[in-house]
Amino acid sequence: MKSFIIRVAKISDSKSIVNLINELAEFEKEPNSVKINQKDIENDGFGKHPKFKCFVAEIEGKVIGMALYYPRYSTWEGPTLHLEDLIVSKIYRRQGVGKSLYLKFINEAKVNGFNRVEWAVLDWNIDAIKFYESSGAKILSDWRTVQMTKEMIDNYTFLNKKKIESL
């Protein structure tokens, strides 16, 4: 494989980022779950108030992988960096690209004084689990991810409108 570089993503990478997100959704057996588009990435990642940061892996001007992350705050640990997605295009996997993106993310947390990094991994993604464990990460088996979609948020707040108004 030709040599690759890891760099901070730019707004011009937005289309490639969306393509990688869609590739990840396919891999995770959720091909119709991606609701965002290139404009969302441009606004949310590179607008006036960015909601995330991203490193990309590139070969000869082509983005082949990414690590998308953002800060959080733990009431137990303090500043935390959350890795939302780490993806490398299928044909470039097992060549050190993912490990380099991962290392860049971990180092970002270290040099910026974060006390913890965290992310989720699907229980059937055995290769990823083995990789993370080999890096010294601990897989928490007693926690479950909880989510509400926009529709669920709307429904819940609608049902509790009077309570919300009194707050």
Q: Phi, psi (5° rounding) for residue 43?
A: -70, -45
Q: Which of 69, 92, 132, 156 is catalytic?
A: 132
92 assigned to active site: no
> Residue 72 contacts by C-beta under 8 Å, 6 or more apart in sequence?
80, 81, 82, 118
Laid out side by side, the sheet with 53-59 consists of 5-8, 53-59, 62-74, 78-88, 116-118
Q: Where are the beta strands (DSSP E) in the chain?
A: 5-8, 53-59, 62-74, 78-88, 116-118
Contact 72, 83 (CB under 8 A): no
Q: C-alpha dihedral over 23, 25, 30, 35, to 10 degrees?
A: -110
Compute how many other C-beta atoms are within 10 angstroms of the C-beta atom of residue 22.
Answer: 15
What are the catalytic residues?
132
